[in-house]
Amino acid sequence: MKKVIVITGASSGFGALTARALAKAGHIVYASMRETKGRNAPQVKEIERYATEHSVDLRPIELDVSSQESCNEAIQEIIEKTGHLDVVIHNAGHMVFGPAEAFTPEQLAELYDVNVLSTQRVNRAALPQLRKQKRGLVVWVSSSSCAGGTPPYLAPYFAAKAGMDALAVVYARELTRWGIETSIIVPGAFTGGTNHFAHAGSPADKARVGEYEAGPIKVSRTMYSKVSPQSCLLMQMSRALRTPSSR
């Protein structure tokens, strides 16, 4: 059955790939993103090109997860045009890379806003419609960190994703009485095909970053100094593959 689906953060990466896959499966998919008339204008054109070329119902829509007003307007537009909303996919997020101590509290608060509070804004806009229908699905795109994978220098991001997971679990219990289902998706450590790493933030306290890079043990600097998030994850996976499993 054809569903009406909205995906946050669908300008690239998992969001864009998911939007295309669901549209090809025959659903009406709203690929949401901010600045559709600004820096994401090329992505909007690409979505429209893809929809025409593949004869699918894939629609770009302006939705800034950091703004409740923007979330409200986008969801209202979807409902007005389609008459209902079936699936909400929380995909928008932002990651940072660096020693946890070197991030300011303000940076952590901003990261929490993007990865956790954004889902609350979208839910407050969309859930009244899903509850009215007494059906729907809310999908939360989580992180492998919440399943135990925790390489260094990603602590603030992991903490934010853990907060999102906790919120998702409680929402699942509260929404089930309305006939609304919940799924948490853990994609795993993808180091390509996404801008997640390329756009990662960095600590504001550069002096403390320098202290971590300098020591106290040289091997630490060899392993983790000036490495990218991609290589950090790859090193962790490589070590795991070399370690015999315990029985």
Active-site residues, by number, are 157
Tokens 């894939």 correspond to what residue? Answer: 58
Dist CA 168 CA 140 (whole Å): 7
- Phi and psi for 135 in degrees, rounded to 5? -165, 160
Dist CA 149 CA 220 (whole Å): 19
Dist CA 173 CA 211 (whole Å): 45
Asked whether the bond before 105 is cis by omega within 30 degrees of 0, the reply is: no
Dist CA 146 CA 186 (whole Å): 8
Count Cβ atoms within 10 A of the Cβ of residue 144 and give its class: 0-12 exposed, 13-18 middle, 19 or more buried.
Answer: middle
Count Cβ atoms within 10 A of the Cβ of residue 185 and give its class: 0-12 exposed, 13-18 middle, 19 or more buried.
Answer: middle
